[in-house]
Amino acid sequence: DAGVIQSPRHEVTEMGQEVTLRCKPISGHNSLFWYRQTMMRGLELLIYFNNNVPIDDSGMPEDRFSAKMPNASFSTLKIQPSEPRDSAVYFCASSWGEAFFGQGTRLTVV
């Protein structure tokens, strides 16, 4: 297995644009997590899914953020409209007994 795959690895976008981050979990894993990491705020758990169902989205900062998991092999995190303060590294992780993390997407909103 190639591990947890995130795309894109880097994204630079203008303020106000829609941004979609993608995550492909490891096959067979039943939980998926989205994290955001910044120097200012540190590590934040945004949302996690279990069996494709969102369990806890209390970490989603604003209505501009939304996450979906239409099937067991794919999840998206969307920001619409994006703002400069959304600039961060966004990590996805999947787990079944042990968690594995993707390489992250570095988002820069200018």
In the structure, how many helices (H) and strands (E) does the chain have? 0, 11
Nearest by Cα to 94 from 47, 36, 44, 24: 24
**Interface region with another protein, contact rule CB under 8 A, candidates 60-68, 69-77, 78-86, 99-107:** 99-107
Q: What is the C-alpha separation between 52 and 56, in angstroms, rounded?
A: 12
CB closer to another protein out of 2 and 39: 39
Our finding on whether 25 is near another protein (CB under 8 A) is no
Q: Which residues are near another protein by CB under 8 A?
A: 30-31, 33, 37, 39, 42-43, 45, 50, 55-56, 89, 91, 93, 95-99, 101-104, 106
